[in-house]
């Protein structure tokens, strides 16, 4: 179990923005951003059918098709099928994430975590990605933020469907690893308590960041580390608010979050620290986390991420964050 040996490094590339999240992204800009990630040495790419109804997978596949398949690690997700019939992307029912990909493709999405749908989803993704294999497959979004009170029913369908299919595919060597990709800790805690099946890793988005980490620290990360289930951190910039944007949790950031970010920025400036560096390195400091996958739609953002990973951050900055109660007292911080 675990995927640390599979991943080429701690920095990957998340493709949710390539699905036209929040705005229309020209094809050329999307392609240039993926190429920039490659040129900067990034070799782990994560995507999903959900991102723009297949748009992110298509765009990623177009670029990666020009590179040797053995040179990179690729993950995508199951749980939603992209259909040929049209629908209004802005009118999709997405729980707390309404309108997230309203600029994406108009293909209808169907939530389906059954065994048959999992196999079909993988085949469809292989076609869009122009590849013959996947390294990691995540079961996507079986959590409260998308399904509300029905999330446990969706989880049970996935447990008896997608989980077992992916376990079998791993045993056959068809995929190298599998796990859950969610925005909440509860499904991951529940999965760790199962006797079987046994995932290799989790992709946790937005729940281990400078702005939101206390709940994950309580049980999830220690339990994952104990069971050798690695954590990939998605959304290390909390939907952009920690990288100069205005979104938090995929929506316009509320006043209290804006105020908290302003306090962190003030301390960062006082210690000569880039806030992106602080956010990225914080998310990677726990022993359970093996990679972070910030997303981008502009090549310059990729360069910033690479620089942020290598920036030296003085110990006094982390001490100041603790003293101001801006990070949990027991949160691990990067070694100086």
Burial of 117 (0-12, 13-18, 19+ CB in 10 A): buried
End-to-end CA, the chain: 30
Cα–Cα distance measured from residue 251 to residue 92, given in angstroms and rounded to the nearest whole number: 16
Tell me which DSSP letter residue 254 carries.
Answer: P
Cα–Cα distance measured from residue 211 to residue 239, given in angstroms and rounded to the nearest whole number: 11
Residue 136 has phi, psi (to 5 degrees) of -130, 140
Q: Indicate if 77 belongs to the active site.
A: yes
Tell me which DSSP letter residue 8 carries.
Answer: S
The residues pairing with 111 across neighbouring beta strands, listed in sequence order, are 80
Annotated catalytic residue: which of 27, 39, 44, 46?
A: 46
Report the helix count and the strand count for the chain, using DSSP H and E: 13, 12
Annotated catalytic residue: which of 51, 208, 237, 250?
A: 51
Annotated catalytic residue: which of 27, 44, 72, 77?
A: 77
Catalytic residue list: 46, 51, 77
């Amino acid at each position: 179990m675990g995927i640390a040996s599979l991943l080429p490094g701690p920095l990957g590339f998340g493709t949710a923005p390539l699905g036209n999240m929040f705005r229309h992204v020209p094809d050329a800009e999307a392609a240039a951003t993926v190429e920039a990630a490659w040129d900067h040495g990034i070799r782990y790419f994560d995507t999903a059918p959900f991102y723009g109804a297949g748009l992110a997978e298509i765009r990623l596949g177009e670029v990666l098709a020009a590179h040797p398949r053995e040179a990179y690690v690729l993950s995508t997700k199951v749980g939603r099928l992209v259909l040929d019939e049209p629908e209004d992307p802005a009118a999709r029912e997405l729980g707390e994430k309404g309108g997230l990909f309203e600029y994406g493709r108009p293909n209808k999405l169907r939530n389906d975590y059954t065994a048959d749908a999992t196999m079909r989803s993988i085949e469809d993704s292989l076609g869009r990605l122009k590849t013959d294999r996947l390294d990691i497959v995540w079961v996507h979004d079986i959590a409260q933020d998308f399904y509300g009170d029905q999330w446990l029913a969706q989880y049970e369908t996935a447990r008896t469907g997608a989980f077992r299919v992916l376990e079998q595919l791993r045993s056959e060597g068809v995929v190298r690893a599998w796990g859950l990709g969610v925005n909440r800790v509860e499904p991951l805690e529940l999965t760790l308590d199962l006797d079987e099946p046994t995932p290799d890793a989790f992709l946790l988005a937005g729940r281990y960041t400078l702005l939101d980490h206390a709940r994950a620290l309580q049980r999830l990360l220690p339990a994952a580390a104990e069971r050798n289930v690695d954590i990939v951190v998605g959304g290390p910039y909390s939907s952009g608010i920690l990288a100069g944007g205005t979104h938090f949790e995929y929506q316009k950031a509320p006043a209290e979050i804006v105020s908290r970010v302003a306090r962190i920025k003030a301390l960062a400036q006082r210690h000569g620290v880039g806030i992106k560096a602080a956010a990225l390195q914080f998310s990677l400091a726990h022993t359970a986390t093996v990679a972070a996958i910030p997303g981008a739609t502009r090549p310059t953002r990729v360069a910033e991420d690479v620089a942020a990973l290598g920036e030296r951050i003085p110990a006094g900055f982390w001490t100041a964050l603790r003293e101001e109660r801006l990070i949990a007292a027991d949160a691990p911080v990067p070694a100086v």
